[in-house]
Structure 1
Amino acid sequence: MCHYTHLSPQERDCIAVLCGTREGQSAISRQRSAGTAPASATSSRGTHATDTLRHVLPKRRADERRRRCRAKRRLSDPALAQKVRLLIMDRHWSPEQIDDISGSRVAAGASLSLSTIYREVHAGALDLPEAGPEGQVQRHLRRKGKQVRRKRPKIRGKIRISHTVKERPKQADERSRLGDWEDDTVVAAGPVCLLVLADRASRLLLAKRCHHDSGSVSKAEVGLLQGRPLETLTPDRGKEFAGHADVTKALGGVQFYFCDPHHLWQKPTVKNTNGLLLEFFS
Structure 2
Amino acid sequence: MAFEIRKIRTPQGRKKLVREREEYFRLVDQGVSSREACRIVGINRRTGKRWRNGTNPTKNGTNPTKRRPAQTAHTALAERVISASRHLTANERLYIADHWRAGAGVRTIAVQLNRHPSTISRELKRNAHPTSGDYRPHAAQARAESRRPRPKPAKLAQNPELRQYVQERLNKRWSPEQIVQHLHRDFPDRPEMHVVHETIYQAIYVQGRGELRRELAKALRTGRARRKPRRLAQQRQPRYSHPMVMISERPAEVDDRAVPGHWEGDLIIGKDNGSAIGTLVERSTRYVMLLHLSNGRTTELVRDALVEAMKTLPSHLTRSLTWDQGSEMGRHHEFTLATDIPVYFCDPASPWQRGSNENTNGLLRQYFPKGTDLSVHGREDLDAVAAELNGRPRKTLGWETPAERLHTLLAAA
The interval holding the TM-score normalised by the smaller chain is: 0.3 to 0.5
Greater relative contact order structure (CA < 8 Å, 6+ sep):
1
Structure whose CA Rg is larger: 2
TM-score, with length taken from structure 2: 0.31
